[in-house]
Amino acid sequence: MKQTMDDKIKNRNSWFKIILISLFCMVLMFKVATAKFTFHFSDLLSFILAVFAIAIAVLFYSKVNEIVRLLGGSAPGLLKRNKKMESTAAYAENVPVKNEEELVQTLEEHKDQLKRVKKVQNEIIDRLLLSQDLEHEDKRDYIDYLLQKEKEAALIQMEADKVSAQLEDADEFANGPSPAESGTVNSINDVVAVLGKDVILGATFDELNQKVKSIQPTISQEVSESLLQAGYVDQNFNITRKGLKEFRSTAKRMKKRV
């Protein structure tokens, strides 16, 4: 039978101990054979130091082997877990994060897919209702295909709901407290309603700035102060980058509700 790794280690340790003991005995016998029968304190001190050094070496070797045996089973698992955590962290750092425009595009694609699936379902239902002379097996095939499309529509709807939730989270993260929490929801909604959602989403920064300034006389003092305090406009009632982002975000939210 082949020796296991533990047996090989035990045999190696045994031979190491035998060699140490043999060397010690040979040195001791040589000292006894060549020494004169006179007592020297230096010889006794050398002998004691040699025994102490050998004992320390054997003790250290035994402790190291004991630690290796204790950690032998858990060390590979720890290494694997560490590597897995490192690879997971590296993957998370390298995963591209979709911006809001990509999420909106993905949501529109899901809606288009859902429309196509619904259209196919309606065609199948119409075919089943109009074709009275279909064989039983043909009807079963149509029904199975209809159920398959129903599952496909459910999956697409789930993906669309996930994207919608991501869009809501992205809006909350980017905009901080909602207008309702900050007390500016009515003022911003009024400005967006006056200018028009499509105008705000399609206008450039300079164009939107001019349009906001054009309706300044119709904006109440309270609304103007709230926009200024929120940092959406400056002292000259020019919109800021923060204001542009907030106006467009509000326009998108209002457009989704329609």
Per-residue pLDDT, 122: 84
Per-residue pLDDT, 187: 56
**End-to-end CA, the chain:** 80
pLDDT band with cut points at 50, 70 and 90 for residue 158: confident
Distance CA 24, CA 55 (A): 11
Distance CA 37, CA 168 (A): 98
For residue range 200-228, list pLDDT tens digits in order.
888 888 888 888 888 878 777 787 888 88
Task: Return phi, psi of residue 239, to 5°.
Answer: -70, 145
Which amino acid belongs to residue 110? H
Per-residue pLDDT, 55: 86
Which amino acid belongs to residue 192? V
Angle of the 241-257 helix axis to the 221-230 helix axis, nearest 10: 110
pLDDT band with cut points at 50, 70 and 90 for residue 71: low
Per-residue pLDDT, 80: 55
The pTM score is 0.31
Q: What percent of the chain has pLDDT over 70?
A: 69
Vertex 160, ends 158 and 166: CA angle to 5°? 105
Per-residue pLDDT, 127: 77
Distance CA 61, CA 15 (A): 13
pLDDT band with cut points at 50, 70 and 90 for residue 40: low
Vertex 116, ends 113 and 121: CA angle to 5°? 125
Vertex 22, ends 21 and 25: CA angle to 5°? 85
CA atoms 197, 250, 157, 92: torsion sign: positive
Distance CA 50, CA 55 (A): 9
